[in-house]
Structure 1
Amino acid sequence: MTHYPQRRTEVHVSVDTTLCIGSGQCALALPEVFDQDETDGLVVLLDAKPPRELHDDVDEAVNRCPVQAIATTAT
């Protein structure tokens, strides 16, 4: 039997603001999902369950975070 990787159907995004240093890389990569707080510059999660068409961009934003403050769970 051949096994193929399952295409994830939903991604749940979470952020740890205690790790965030406010570099803004996530917001630059994906402003539909991430923003920055105007007072302290920390990440603001706008959409914890972005649509499928943004999943690759979510991965890019996660990879850009210099302190790994963003995590995803695929379901």
Structure 2
Amino acid sequence: MKNVMNILATKRAKAGLLVTSALGSASAFAADHTEAINAAVTDGTTNYTAIVTGVITVAAIGFCIGLIVSKLRN
């Protein structure tokens, strides 16, 4: 019975070593995507700036047209 327990303990240790080494090698081969992420952040910032500028422009035009119409009515 002790022999079976020793064999199981050895197999368990080998399985743990295999899993640990597989996880370690998977993280070592992970691709570096920092350039793509930085490019996406830059594009998102540019798009956000364009949208905010557009919204402010439309609001200003609407205010000016409303002001002109109200002055023409008086």
TM-score when scaled to structure 1? 0.19
Structure with the bigger percentage of strand: 1
Structure with greater contact order relative to length (CA < 8 Å, sep ≥ 6): 1
Structure with the bigger percentage of helix: 2
TM-score when scaled to structure 2? 0.19
The structure that has the greater radius of gyration is: 2
